[in-house]
């Protein structure tokens, strides 16, 4: 792969029969990631609030990928009950989960809250996926070689965790809240892997990725920004490549971050990259873990200990 890692390459192993869940599969990066994983032989569940959009994507995949095994299931990452319902359904249907791609996200919407009252970007982008990973951890942990891929963003480099106003109730900046949420996702991915390894867990590994800058529906609230950034963006396929490498590369290791190798990591080839700014802080990662447990009411630490001891 002289020109860079590419999931199309025959060197990249097939994953025939492996079971995959992709959140946010109704459009953009999630749709492309799902199609690529189906093309590599996976059985993929598109998990999205937009069921009609996901069904359209599933139909497209079925028509373009021979013998594609793709299905659709509702999930609302702003609603902890809907998240638990999805996980309960999944584990009642399947006994393995090889890859969970926590991809769904929202960017810079008007101020809003989730069902539990969390600021919507932190709630959906981070706490929703934190909750989903908690509920699916037993099946991930019991599937040898499994992976949890968390989609973060290059904007984590400017992110800060505002512990004093975590839900932006005193002051709301859509952009600062987005950066906060994406920093939290990265810190969660790294801290999760650290905690699993400390318990001696072999599966899953937790790997993060960021797509660089990609012109997707995420920018619907920032049209002026979209126009300004357009020259620095790369295509959807290139933007999906870091997540696909995190999911498929046999050399991937827990705690890694895949991104792009171009200027400012805005675009380029999918390569291992280093976290920036607060994304490097192990102390902050631990604090965000504890904050997430307190906000969601989920004892993820205890769940990991149960999985490490073989309980389910």
pLDDT in the model for residue 121: 98
Distance CA 300, CA 139 (A): 14
Helices (H) and strands (E) in the chain, counts: 10, 8
Supply the residues annotated as catalytic: 178
Which of 169-178, 216-225, 261-270 is predicted least confidently?
216-225
> How many other C-beta atoms are found inside a 10 Å radius of the C-beta of residue 242?
31
**Which letter, b or e, does each residue of 275-291 get, where b requires 16 or more Cβ atoms within 10 Å of its Cβ?**
bbebbebeebbeebbeb
Residue 262 has pLDDT above 90, yes or no: no
pTM, full prediction: 0.94
Q: Mapped to the 3 state alphabet, what secondary structure does 139-198 carry?
A: HHHCCCCCEEEEECCHHHHHCCCCHHHCCCCCCCCHHHHHHHHHHHHHHHHHHHHHHHHH
Domain boundaries, the chain: 19-308
Count the alpha carbons within 13 Å of 109 in the hemisphere toward its beta carbon.
16
Share of the chain above pLDDT 90, in %: 86
Residue 290 has pLDDT above 90, yes or no: yes
Instruction: Please state the CATH superfamily assignment of the domain spanning residues 19-308 in this structure.
Output: NAD(P)-binding Rossmann-like Domain (3.40.50.720)
pLDDT in the model for residue 228: 54
Residue 151 has pLDDT above 70, yes or no: yes
The more confident residue out of 66 and 219 is 66
pLDDT bracket for residue 1 (50, 70, 90): very low
């Amino acid at each position: 792969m002289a020109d860079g890692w590419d999931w199309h390459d025959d060197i990249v192993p097939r994953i025939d029969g492996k079971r995959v869940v992709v959140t946010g599969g109704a459009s953009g990066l999630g749709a492309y990631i799902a199609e690529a994983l189906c093309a590599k032989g996976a059985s993929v569940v598109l998990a999205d609030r937009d069921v009609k959009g996901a069904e359209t994507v599933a139909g497209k995949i079925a028509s373009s990928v021979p013998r594609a095994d793709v299905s659709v299931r509702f999930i609302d990452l702003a609603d902890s009950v809907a998240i638990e319902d999805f996980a309960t359904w999944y584990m009642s249907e399947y006994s393995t989960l090889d890859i969970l791609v926590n991809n769904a996200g929202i960017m810079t919407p008007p101020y809003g809250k989730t069902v539990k009252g969390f600021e919507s970007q932190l709630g959906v982008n981070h706490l929703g996926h934190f909750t989903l990973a908690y509920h699916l951890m037993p099946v991930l942990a019991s599937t040898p070689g499994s992976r949890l891929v968390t989609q973060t963003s290059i904007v984590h480099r400017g992110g800060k965790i505002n512990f004093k106003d975590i839900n932006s109730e005193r002051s709301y900046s859509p952009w600062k809240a987005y950066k906060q949420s994406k920093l939290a996702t990265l810190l969660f991915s790294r801290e999760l892997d650290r905690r699993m390894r400390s318990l001696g867990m072999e599966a899953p590994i937790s790997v993060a990725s960021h797509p660089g800058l990609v012109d997707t529906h995420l920018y619907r609230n920032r049209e002026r920004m979209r126009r300004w950034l357009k020259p620095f963006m790369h295509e959807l396929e290139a933007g999906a490549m870091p997540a696909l490498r995190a999911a498929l590369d046999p050399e991937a290791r827990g705690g890694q971050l895949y991104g792009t190798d171009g200027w400012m990591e805005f675009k380029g080839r999918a390569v291992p990259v280093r976290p920036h700014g607060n994304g490097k802080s192990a102390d902050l990662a631990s604090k965000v873990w504890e904050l997430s447990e307190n906000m969601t009411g989920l004892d993820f630490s205890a769940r990991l200990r149960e999985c490490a001891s073989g309980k389910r």
